């Protein structure tokens, strides 16, 4: 039995930030960087940066820090962003279309090979270069293409149903943009990316800021 403990979510959320910064630094010709510099740039604690980097199993050198090239590779590897992870997307509305059009996902290892919708006007077209199929074909196509990632950009009332179709097709990781609570077996990974949650944080922080300034 593996006793390796899971990575803390806060750490996972910081890794892409390190990655973006490291890519910028590499662009600028740097080859080494210390936790001190990374921390200052991202307004974090240097110790935290070191602890985070520990998870990638990269070790630094006193006085100089970390090798940027190696660190970039290690983070990508750690997140499996160096692989071509095939994905399906269901719900070709505004958000779904935007997602398909965001070409950079390939940089993050995510490759949309098929999209699905129930709207007959959309079926059999291509959106942003990705073919749109009728929803009922999802399990079949997902199975044949061995797709493990599914992106849910459907209205909340269909989210559960579509998620189950994805699972039927062998999908193991679901990126859920619908404000719905999915009930799925626990060998399926779900990440809820709901904008309303993020907006709640922003809204309340703003309210609290105003209350503080009103004093």
Partner DNA sequence: TTTGTTTCGAGAAGTGCTTCTCGATATTTT
Partner DNA sequence: AAAATATCGAGAAGCACTTCTCGAAACAAA
Query: Taking the complex as a whole, how short is the minimal distance between the CB of residue 32 and DNA, in angstroms?
Result: 9
CA distances from 201 to 173, 194, 195, 206, 207 (A): 26, 12, 10, 9, 10
Task: Return the closest-CA partner of residue 58 out of 70, 46, 49, 76.
Answer: 70
> What's the number of CA atoms in the CB half-sphere (13 Å) around residue 16?
11
Q: Is 28 in the site for a copy of itself (CB under 8 A)?
A: no
Other Cβ atoms closer than 10 A to 128 = 16
According to DSSP, the residues that pair with 87 across neighbouring strands are 112, 149
Q: Is 63 in the site for a copy of itself (CB under 8 A)?
A: no
Query: Taking the complex as a whole, how short is the minimal distance between the CB of residue 181 and DNA, in angstroms?
Result: 16
| Residue list 127-186, contact with a copy of itself (CB under 8 A) | 148-149, 156, 172-173, 175, 179-181
| Residue list 85-124, contact with a copy of itself (CB under 8 A) | 85, 94-95, 97-98, 101-102, 105, 108-110
77/164 with CB nearer a copy of itself: 77
Residue 97 interacts, among a copy of itself, DNA, none and using kind-specific CB cut-offs from 5 to 8 Å, with a copy of itself
Q: Which residues bind DNA (CB under 7 A)?
A: 8-11, 34-37, 44-48, 50-51, 53-54, 59-66
Q: Is 30 in the site for a copy of itself (CB under 8 A)?
A: no
Q: Is 78 in the site for a copy of itself (CB under 8 A)?
A: yes
6/157 with CB nearer DNA: 6
d(Cα 146, Cα 169) in Å, to the nearest integer? 8
Q: Is 64 in the site for a copy of itself (CB under 8 A)?
A: no
Q: Give the DSSP H/E element, type plus range, for residue 149.
A: strand 149-152
Strand 110-117: give its sheet, edge to edge.
126-127, 130-134, 110-117, 85-90, 149-152, 173-176, 189-192
First to last CA, the chain: 56
* Interface with a copy of itself (CB under 8 A): 1-2, 4, 6-7, 9, 12-13, 15-17, 20-21, 41-43, 78-81, 85, 94-95, 97-98, 101-102, 105, 108-110, 148-149, 156, 172-173, 175, 179-181, 187, 189, 191, 193-213, 215
């Amino acid at each position: 039995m593996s006793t390796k403990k899971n990575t803390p979510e806060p750490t996972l959320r910081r890794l892409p930030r390190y990655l973006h910064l490291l890519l910028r630094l590499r662009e600028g010709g740097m080859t080494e960087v210390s936790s001190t510099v990374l921390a200052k740039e991202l307004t974090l604690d240097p110790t935290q940066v070191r602890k985070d980097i520990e998870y990638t199993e990269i070790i630094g050198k006193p006085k100089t820090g970390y090798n940027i090239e190696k660190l970039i590779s290690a983070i990508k590897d750690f997140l499996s962003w160096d692989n071509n992870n095939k994905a399906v997307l269901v719900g070709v509305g505004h958000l779904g279309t935007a997602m398909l059009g965001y070409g950079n996902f390939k940089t993050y290892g995510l490759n949309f090979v098929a999209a699905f919708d129930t709207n007959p006007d959309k079926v059999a077209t291509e959106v942003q270069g990705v073919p749109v199929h009728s929803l009922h074909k999802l399990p079949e196509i997902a199975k044949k293409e061995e797709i493990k990632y599914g992106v849910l950009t459907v209205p909340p009332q269909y989210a559960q149903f579509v998620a189950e179709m994805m699972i039927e097709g062998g999908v193991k990781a679901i990126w859920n943009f619908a404000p719905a609570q999915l009930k799925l077996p626990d060998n399926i990974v779900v990440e809820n990316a709901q904008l309303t949650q993020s907006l709640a944080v922003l809204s309340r922080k703003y309210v609290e800021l105003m209350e503080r300034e009103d004093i």
